[in-house]
């Protein structure tokens, strides 16, 4: 990268900036504001609106500062009479056919057109003709309203669609004065990231339908917070009015400074339009005992009482008669305190938060999301960024199309990233263990040899596989992105050996991003909500270290995992289970049997935000406020810890407060006055988090250090045969807009909801006599669901892909409860 600096003068001020920077940005560094419309730093120079005219010494014409690359000794003036006249003229043209309906425009108060006119524009109009007319406010999509009269044709939105989202779904139609923003054949502009155009439109042409006419912008209170929908943890601004939710915007250069470590100033539509749950009628507001809600019973009092009951059960039946099922959706503080409560307060390691195999830490560097841009090869494994971690999808597209990064996709299903990849390898569902082992071996001395057995088992051609290995070896910076949740059995352990091998055998550097999609999946691991690891990746076997950090009473035997907890409930060994922000009745395998098991418990407590199937059978239900209301930190896939601010104030106590009270109840010192005090405690006890403090969290968050990296467990390996020649191996995939408790029927995103489908390969379709559109019942040993067949080769023959599209679909009921493979057959 060219880092050469140049020195120039802008309005008499001396400025030193990197050569080639555009004058608008250079001026910004010395607080000189050059007005713009079409320029947006993430979209690059375009120069169409002509708002940014400036005078440059030795140039006869005025220049557009947004396209002007500064050079040594340049002299720029932004407030000469010539510039003023130029700007005034441009604004007159811009306003010529603008409807001037500011009083009823949603952009009012935060409108660059208003602001620029106020400062630089004409005070009178010389326009004596009827202004051009268009249909007012028509839907561009179910969530975006377009008012074409207001459009100033800056092309920000269409360039966004082209340059950032890369699908040219929103385009400029027609020519000249008849230019208009539109879609193909007037179809809705309905993409995963469409809402960003609302933020960047410099006028009120593109507005958020949800927010229309709900508030004037100056009446809003804006909180810089984090999105809680996935593990990217994008920076958002929550706008509220009189403590009521109004809208979500990306935190971008338009309203603040974007966090380029995380989201580059963009958010996905789920993050923008998927926040109606904050005011869902299913929110749990009062504690409830034996099905009876009581608004007078204090949350804290109830919680203390239940904590005491747990203590009593633990004393009576032994500490391992109680257990905790946490969730990757809690904040670090909440999860940290819960594990502390169970470990120190109740003496058990019976705590877990997930169903897939994984262990904390990486044998290589933990890359931040930004590293994707400097990597020359990104390898995604079993990851589907578009559906799971949407902002990562944008980041990958940016890296591949403008920064020279190469992408390799290794997956058992087709993804939307494939068309950006130079290696796109699809393995048979369930064969990831073999694939990863061969990759590991291939990097080592043994190398990889063309191999029929490998090809039949994995469905990958040897030559293509070889090429991938060659690319991995010769790249100077490899970033591996994997979704542990979608690896089968314990092949995540093989993946970690692969990382070690990569580190050793590739010519450059490498690192990885564990990309489990849940909001704080990484934080939950780091905080030790695991039966076998303490916070910071300290294994329970390391008794000495644990005693040192946690005291002598800390339990050092391995606890029960999530699935074991369910088994123990079934067998009666487990008497009391505490479930935090998790809905096993829908999300865990087991179906009706699972419900029976939970009903056997003496005490089932659910602490959650929204009513779920599980809260319905709980003995005690406690309200958790959740994102938007409660504050705390979360750790994103890049290991970046950020502070999630509240947008709405509630009377109900925050979870950390409830937990503090419960800890006290169990005689553990706890005097937290705010969530930051918990954060400080985390900094002092959790390896990797020592630098996480208030100061470091400001602005862009802080990438935590590596957590301990214990020895990677050996993979037990797995190879199974289909029980039935007609059986296909099930793979559940993710869908961004799944219809669940968060995106409920009243959601603005309901138009994205899909019907239950199963994707199979045409070979299998032929042998099974199925064709697209057929309604079938899918059966496994554990359950059955209905779905429509789609023959489209999204996975290899032998596999069956079912996207998780709703809670109601019940796909988890099909799954093998012990984590082994699931085979499905069909019934018409």
Partner 1 sequence: MKLFLTHNIDTKDLHSIKVYKKQGGYGSLEKAFAKKPDEIVQMVKDSGLRGRGGAGFPTGLKWSFLAKDVFPRYLACNADESEPGTCKDRVLLQKNPHLLIEGMILCAYACQIETAYIYLRGEFYDLAEIMDKALEEAYEAGYLGANILGSGMNLEMYTHLGAGAYICGEESALLNSLEGMRGEPRLKPPFPAVEGLYGKPTVVNNVETLCAVVPIMNEGPEAYAAVGTEKSKGTKLVSVSGHVKKPGNYEIPMGLPTRDLIYDLAGGIRDDNELKAWIPGGSSVPMLPASLVDTPYDYEAIAAAGSMLGSGALIVMDHTTNVVEEALRLAGFYMHESCGKCTPCREGTRWLHQILSDIHLKKGKESNIALLEDICDNMSFKCFCPLGDAAVAPVISSIQNFREDYEELLNLAKAGTAS
Partner 2 sequence: MFTFSESSEKQIEKIMKKYPVKRSAILPLLALAQRQDGYITPEAMVEIGKRIDCSPAYVQSVCSFYTMFYTKPVGKYVIQFCINISCHLLGCDDLLEYTANKLNIKVGETTADNKITLLKEECLAECSAAPVMRLNDTYHTNLTREKIDQILDSLD
Q: Which residues bind ligand SF4 (CB under 6 A)?
A: 151-157, 181, 201-203, 205-206
174 binds partner 2 (CB under 8 A): yes
* Cβ count within 10 A of residue 713: 14
Alpha helices in 15-168 (DSSP H): 23-28, 81-96, 112-120, 156-159
Q: Which two tokens stand for residue 203?
A: 């006028």
Alpha helices in 128-267 (DSSP H): 156-159, 196-200
Q: How many residues bind partner 2 (CB under 8 A)?
A: 13
Out of ligand FES, partner 1, partner 2, none, what residue 184 binds, judged by CB under 5 to 8 A for its kind, is: partner 2
Pick the closest to residue 151 from 89, 210, 207 (CA basis). 207
Q: Which two tokens stand for residue 121?
A: 């524009």
Q: Decide: helix, strand or coil at residue 433.
A: helix
The residue among 194 and 434 lying less far from partner 2, judged by its C-beta, is: 194
- Helices (H) and strands (E) counted in the chain, each on its own, are 25, 37
Find the shortest distance in angstroms from Cβ 93 to partner 2. 21
Find the shortest distance in angstroms from Cβ 136 to partner 2. 22
Pick the closest to residue 580 from 489, 688, 655 (CA basis). 655
Find the shortest distance in angstroms from Cβ 150 to partner 1. 14
Out of ligand FES, partner 2, partner 1, none, what residue 92 binds, judged by CB under 5 to 8 A for its kind, is: partner 1
Find the shortest distance in angstroms from Cβ 7 to partner 1. 21
Query: What angle (nearest 5°) sits at the alpha carbon of residue 341, between those of residues 338 and 342?
Result: 90
CA torsion, points 267, 192, 639, 700, in degrees to nearest 10? -10
Phi first, then psi, for residue 813 (nearest 5°) are: -65, -20
Q: Are 796 and 426 in contact (CB under 8 A)?
A: yes
Burial string for 650-664 (b: 16+ CB within 10 Å, else e) reads bebbbbbbbbbbbbe
39 binds ligand FES (CB under 6 A): yes
The residue among 267 and 776 lying less far from ligand SF4, judged by its C-beta, is: 267
Out of partner 1, ligand FES, ligand SF4, none, what residue 205 binds, judged by CB under 5 to 8 A for its kind, is: ligand SF4
d(CA 140, CA 146): 6
Q: Judging by beta carbons within 10 Å of its beta carbon (0-12, 13-18, 19+), is residue 643 exposed, middle or buried?
A: buried
Out of partner 1, ligand FES, partner 2, none, what residue 99 binds, judged by CB under 5 to 8 A for its kind, is: none
Find the shortest distance in angstroms from Cβ 122 to ligand SF4. 19
Find the shortest distance in angstroms from Cβ 194 to partner 1. 22
* Cβ count within 10 A of residue 19: 14
Q: Which two tokens stand for residue 51?
A: 């708002």
User: Of 165-173, 465-473, 553-561, 735-743, which segment contacts partner 2 by CB under 8 A?
Assistant: 165-173
93 binds partner 1 (CB under 8 A): yes
The residue among 90 and 785 lying less far from partner 1, judged by its C-beta, is: 90
Question: Of 170, 232, 262, 389, which one interacts with partner 2 (CB under 8 A)?
Answer: 170
Q: Are strands 235-241 and 244-250 parallel, antiparallel or unpaired?
A: antiparallel
The residue among 51 and 586 lying less far from ligand SF4, judged by its C-beta, is: 51
Out of partner 1, ligand FES, partner 2, none, what residue 185 binds, judged by CB under 5 to 8 A for its kind, is: partner 2
Q: Which two tokens stand for residue 233?
A: 């943890």
Helix or strand holding residue 620 (H, E): strand 620-623
Strand order across the beta sheet in which 351-352 lies: 292-293, 288-289, 620-623, 603-608, 576-580, 322-325, 351-352
Residue window 126-165: x/- pattern of binding to partner 1, with contact defined by CB under 8 A: xx-x----------------------xx-x----------
Question: Of 15, 23, 52, 738, which one interacts with ligand FES (CB under 6 A)?
Answer: 52
51 binds ligand FES (CB under 6 A): yes
User: Of 48-56, 243-251, 563-571, 803-811, which segment contacts ligand FES by CB under 6 A?
Assistant: 48-56
Out of ligand FES, partner 1, ligand SF4, none, what residue 206 binds, judged by CB under 5 to 8 A for its kind, is: ligand SF4
R_g over Cα of the chain: 28
d(CA 428, CA 457): 7
184 binds partner 2 (CB under 8 A): yes
Query: What angle (nearest 5°) sits at the alpha carbon of residue 204, between those of residues 207 and 170?
Result: 60
36 binds ligand FES (CB under 6 A): yes
167 binds partner 2 (CB under 8 A): yes
Residues 54-73 that bind ligand FES (CB under 6 A): 64, 66
Residues 48-67 that bind partner 1 (CB under 8 A): 48-51, 53, 60-62, 67
- 653 forms beta bridges with none
Q: How many residues bind ligand FES (CB under 6 A)?
A: 12
Q: Are strands 702-703 and 640-644 parallel, antiparallel or unpaired?
A: antiparallel
Find the shortest distance in angstroms from Cβ 173 to partner 2. 5
Q: What are the residues binding ligand FES (CB under 6 A)? A: 36-39, 47-52, 64, 66
Binding site for partner 2 (CB under 8 A): 167-175, 182-185
Give the binding site for partner 1 (CB under 8 A): 45-51, 53, 60-62, 67, 85-86, 89-90, 92-94, 96-97, 126-127, 129, 152-153, 155, 172, 174-179
């Amino acid at each position: 990268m060219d880092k050469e600096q140049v020195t120039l003068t802008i309005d008499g001020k001396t400025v030193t900036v990197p050569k080639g920077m555009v004058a608008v940005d250079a001026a910004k560094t010395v607080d000189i504001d050059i007005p713009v419309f079409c320029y947006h730093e993430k979209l690059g120079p375009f120069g169409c609106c002509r708002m940014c005219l400036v005078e440059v010494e030795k140039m006869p014409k005025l220049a557009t500062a947004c396209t002007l690359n500064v050079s040594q000794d340049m002299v720029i003036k932004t407030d000469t009479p010539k510039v003023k006249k130029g700007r005034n003229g441009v604004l007159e043209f811009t306003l010529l056919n603008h409807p001037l309906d500011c009083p009823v425009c949603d952009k009012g108060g935060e409108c660059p057109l208003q602001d620029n006119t106020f400062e630089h524009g004409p005070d009178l109009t010389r326009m004596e003709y009827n202004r051009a007319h268009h249909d007012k406010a028509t839907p561009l999509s179910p969530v975006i309203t377009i008012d074409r009269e207001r459009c100033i044709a800056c092309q920000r939105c269409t360039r966004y669609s082209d340059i950032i989202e890369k699908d040219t779904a929103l385009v400029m139609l027609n020519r000249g004065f008849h230019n208009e923003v539109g879609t193909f054949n007037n179809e809705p502009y309905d993409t995963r990231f469409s809402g960003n155009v609302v933020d960047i439109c410099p006028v009120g042409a593109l507005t958020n339908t949800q927010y229309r006419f709900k508030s004037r912008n100056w009446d809003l209170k804006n909180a810089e917070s984090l999105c809680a929908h996935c593990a990217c943890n994008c920076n958002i601004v929550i706008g509220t009015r009189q403590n009521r939710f109004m809208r979500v915007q990306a935190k971008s250069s338009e309203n603040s400074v974007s966090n380029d470590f995380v989201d580059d100033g963009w958010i996905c539509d789920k993050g923008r339009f998927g926040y109606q749950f904050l005011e869902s009628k299913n929110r749990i507001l009062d504690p409830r005992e034996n099905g009876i809600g009581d608004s007078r019973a204090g949350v804290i009092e109830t919680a203390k009482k239940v904590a005491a009951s747990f203590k009593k059960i633990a004393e009576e039946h032994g500490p391992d008669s109680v257990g905790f099922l946490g969730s990757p959706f809690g904040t670090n503080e909440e999860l940290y305190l819960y594990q502390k409560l169970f470990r120190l307060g109740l003496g058990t390691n019976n705590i877990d938060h997930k169903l897939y195999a994984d262990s904390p830490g990486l044998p290589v560097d933990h890359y931040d999301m930004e590293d994707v841009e400097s990597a020359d090869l990104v390898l995604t494994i079993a990851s589907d960024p578009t559906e799971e971690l949407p902002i990562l999808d944008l980041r990958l597209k940016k890296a591949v199309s403008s920064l020279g990064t190469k992408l390799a996709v290794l997956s058992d299903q087709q993804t939307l990233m494939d068309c950006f990849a130079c290696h796109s390898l699809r393995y048979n569902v369930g064969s990831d263990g073999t694939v990863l082992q061969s990759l590991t071996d291939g990097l080592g001395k043994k190398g990889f040899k063309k191999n029929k057995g490998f090809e039949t088992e994995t469905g990958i051609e040897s030559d293509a596989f070889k090429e991938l290995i060659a690319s991995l070896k010769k790249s100077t910076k490899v970033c591996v992105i994997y979704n542990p949740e979608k690896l089968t059995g314990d092949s995540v352990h093989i993946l970690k050996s692969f990382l070690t091998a990569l580190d050793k055998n590739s010519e450059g550097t490498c690192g990885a991003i564990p990309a489990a999609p849940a909001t704080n999946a990484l934080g939950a691991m780091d905080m030790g909500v695991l039966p076998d690891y303490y916070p910071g990746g300290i294994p329970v076997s390391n008794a000495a270290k644990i005693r040192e950090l946690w005291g002598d009473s800390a339990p050092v035997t391995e606890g029960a995992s999530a699935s074991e907890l369910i088994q123990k409930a079934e067998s009666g060994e487990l008497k009391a289970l505490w479930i935090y922000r998790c809905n096993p009745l829908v999300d865990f395998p087991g179906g009706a049997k699972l419900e029976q098991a939970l009903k056997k418990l003496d005490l089932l407590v659910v602490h959650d935000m929204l009513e779920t199937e599980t809260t319905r059978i709980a003995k005690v239900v406690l309200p958790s406020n959740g994102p938007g209301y409660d504050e705390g930190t979360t750790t994103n896939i890049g290991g970046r810890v950020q502070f999630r601010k509240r947008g709405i104030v509630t009377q109900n106590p925050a979870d950390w407060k409830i937990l503090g009270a419960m800890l006290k109840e169990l005689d553990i010192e706890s005097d937290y006055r705010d969530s930051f005090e918990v954060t400080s405690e985390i900094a002092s006890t959790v390896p990797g988090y020592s630098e996480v403090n208030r100061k470091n969290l400001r602005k862009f968050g802080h990438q935590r250090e590596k957590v301990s990296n214990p020895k990677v467990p050996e993979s037990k390996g797995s190879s199974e045969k289909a029980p039935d020649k007609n059986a296909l191996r099930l793979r559940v995939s993710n869908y961004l807009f799944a219809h669940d408790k968060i995106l409920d029927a009243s959601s603005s995103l309901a138009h994205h909801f899909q019907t239950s489908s199963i994707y199979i390969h045409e070979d299998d379709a032929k042998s099974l006599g199925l064709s697209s559109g057929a309604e079938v019942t899918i059966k496994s040993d554990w359950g059955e669901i209905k779905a429509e067949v789609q023959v489209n080769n999204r996975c290899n023959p032998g596999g069956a892909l079912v996207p998780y599209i709703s809670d109601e679909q019940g796909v988890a009921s099909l799954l093998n409860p012990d984590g082994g493979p699931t085979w499905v057959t069909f019934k018409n």
